[in-house]
Amino acid sequence: MATPVLDVKRLKTSFLTDDGPVTVVNEVDFHVHAGEVLGIVGESGCGKSVTSLSIMGLVPALTSKVEGEILYKGENLTQASDKRMRQIRGNDIAMIFQEPMTSLNPLFTIGSQLTEALRLHNKKLSKKEAAQQAIAALKKVGLARADELINEYPHQLSGGMRQRVMIAMAMICNPQILIADEPTTALDVTIQAQILELMKKLNEETNTAIMMITHDLGVVAELCQRVIVMYAGKIVEEGTVESIFNHPSHPYTIGLLRSVPDMRRKKDRLFSIPGNVPKPGSLKIGCQFAPRCSQAHEKCLKEKPELKALPNGQKVRCWLYEEEKEYIV
Amino acid sequence: MFAYTIRRLSMLVPVLLGMTLIVFSLIHAIPGSPAQILLGQQASPEAVAALTKEMGLDRPLYIQFVDYLKNLITGDLGESFRTRSPISEEIWPYLAATIELALFAMIIAVIVGVNAGIISAWFQNSWFDYLLMVLALVGVSMPIFWLGLMEQYVFSIKLDLLPTTGRDNIRDPVTAITHLYLLDTLLQGRVDQFFEVIRHLILPGVALATIPMAIIARITRSSMLEVMRSDYIRTARAKGMSMLKVVYKHSLRNAFIPILTIIGLQTGLLLGGAILTETIFGWPGIGNYIYSAIQFRDYPVIQSGILVVAAIFVCINLIVDLLYAAIDPRIKYR
């Protein structure tokens, strides 16, 4: 296979607090190929968003520390200068966010926010050309009356429209990678489907790789080719969408899949994984998931499991797969 | 925007009317007869009564008020009891002196205050932030007369850098056209005088700017901190924009509404005549004008002086309201 467009190696992001550094993302390894859609799944607080912000270099510089390697086309972004990062942001790696309602600046027109992105990376572009490209970008994401929209302000648009504008803004410089941080979470279900459809279309047309960060397994099934499941700052399972959905291996993944409501089956109560994601830095030893795991045994509480490849190519971080068959579900 | 402007302008009428009534009633509540003051303690009661009648002060209050309003509408602010000259002509040089000083002070306050606030917010919790905020606290709490005296002591008397009092050099006075000396000197092409006027403005300007500057810095800091955490700032950063541009373009404009409010209020206060500063620096401003009018129970002058100051205050608020709408497109639609 070709070299991945983004290769993240042993990424470790910690925040400096009054009580010392707290590691939020720990030893995360993954890669994304050109044109691929990678899903990153996990509960709130498992480090998904911090992973993406680390790649963008947008974690607060003074109060955090990013270690490991983030190789974008072979260039290590953790070592890149501030200036180089600004060139990459928006132009090579773009990002869209969870909150379309607040992600656009309320005081600037849609047009000026779109052309701003363009002109930051292409200084020679005239205002007129930029405006034309902005209109084209808005049309591309399915916004009718684009030529009027560029003179309107965000508050005149609905949430779905704003997310389309955000996507247009992210895609306007033809980035190699689009990081989408829960882009559909704040939207109505029907709008969600439209936005996903749009992202799928853009991915096919432009060959832009997408990192889809979500807690919605439906989104993953719809859009992604490969999935990473994160728990408490670590990857606990990795594989293709088919293998993860058909043979979830890590008890956490199994739990996640079981907690998706099934329309065909009538159940009184929806399954939920007991407990909450541990506070970063609170669990020092053993498997991070062990306190919530129904199959945890003595070893899980004492030793940290490693990410291990299964025969089918899936990777899993669990002691159940290191020892005798008897533990396997 | 036009409809909004008209709406705001029409709201001025009742405000100004109410203001006039309040000022009128307050003035007449001050004890002491103006005629007595004018004629002195030895004047005979008959003479006092005659003068009172001549000045129209023996008529019922409401008639005096209606009369006053009638005159106001034609731009006639009445006659000073003391100088016997029309106030509308007499007041302008004082007002101009105050406007010049207040605007000069506000420009210093805004430039320094806003930037200090931005830097503080940008480097939140750094030693620089703490230092600036301590300075701002000191600035707010500093008695202005003390600061003025210290400035004079250090910069005029000890270092002999700047003049202590006045608006211009007595040996080479500015020929007034508009009474805004900075403008007048430029109109006459007298650059040397222009800088002389600036030199006279610096000490009172800085003294007057201190409190607004400190308040503006603190408001800017908290407003910026709030905006810097917002999602659209992250979006702007994700586009590849430099921090400097993010701060001054995207953040400052969003943070500016509360800052603008404070700027408006403080400008109004400064234009209201900073009597202390004007006294210390011998500034012939509106504060001094009203103050001496009060000493002489010069009712028409007090009344008109307060009215003019209040009207300016209202107008500044109007301008601030219009600027809100210019900054934030959402305001027009409310």
pLDDT single digits (tens) B15-42: 888 888 888 887 777 777 777 777 777 8
Q: In Å, how far is A106's CA from the nearest CA of chain B?
A: 8
d(CA B232, CA B220): 18
Report CA torsion sign: B314, B319, B322, B328. negative
SS3 content of chain A, % helix, strand, coil (to 5): 35, 20, 45
**Percent of chain B having pLDDT more than 90?**
25
d(CA B6, CA B13): 12
Mark yes or no for CB contact A155/B231 under 8 Å. no
d(CA B232, CA B252): 13
Say if residue A325's pLDDT is above 50.
Answer: no
Q: CB under 8 Å, gap of 24 or more: what pairs does B29-35 form? A: B30/B297, B32/B297, B33/B57, B33/B297, B34/B81, B34/B296, B34/B297, B34/B298, B34/B299
Query: For residue range B194-245, what is the model confidence (pLDDT) as tens digits?
Result: 888 898 899 999 999 999 999 999 999 999 999 998 999 989 989 888 889 9
Supply the mean pLDDT for chain B: 86
- Please count the CA atoms within 13 angstroms of the CA of A102 that sit on its side-chain side: 11
Say if residue B111's pLDDT is above 90.
Answer: yes
The whole-number pLDDT of residue B333 equals: 52
**Whole-structure pTM value:** 0.82
The whole-number pLDDT of residue A267 equals: 64
B187 domain residue, yes or no: yes
B36 domain residue, yes or no: no
Chain A CB contacts of B332 below 8 Å: none
Question: Which of these ranges, A242-256, A282-296, B177-191, B291-305, has the smallest mean pLDDT?
Answer: A282-296
B39 domain residue, yes or no: no
Q: Does A103 touch chain B (CB under 8 A)?
A: yes
Greatest Cα-to-Cα distance within chain B, rounded to the nearest angstrom: 85
DSSP letter assigned to residue B152? I
The whole-number pLDDT of residue A327 equals: 44
Number of domains in chain B: 1
B16 domain residue, yes or no: no
CA–CA distances in Å: residue A317 to residues A47, A59, A293, B169, B315: 16, 27, 13, 84, 69
Structural domains of chain A, ranges and CATH numbers in brackets: 2-81+176-181+206-319 (3.40.50.300)
d(CA A189, CA A195): 10
CB B204 within 8 A of CB B101: yes
Report CA torsion sign: A263, A264, A268, A271. negative
From A166, which residue of chain B is nearest by alpha-carbon distance?
Answer: B235
Note whether ipTM > 0.95 here.
Answer: no
Mark yes or no for CB contact A58/B250 under 8 Å. no
Cα–Cα nearest to A290, from A306, A307, A303: A303
Say if residue A328's pLDDT is above 60.
Answer: no
Supply the mean pLDDT for chain A: 85
**Percent of chain A having pLDDT more than 70?**
95
The CATH number of the domain where B276 resides is what?
1.10.3720.10
Other C-beta atoms closer than 10 Å to the C-beta of B90 total: 18
- Please count the CA atoms within 13 angstroms of the CA of B301 that sit on its side-chain side: 28
Mark yes or no for CB contact A106/B231 under 8 Å. no
Domain that holds residue B254: 94-332
Cα–Cα nearest to A47, from A286, A271, A295, A288: A288
Say if residue A308's pLDDT is above 90.
Answer: no
CB A101 within 8 A of CB A158: no
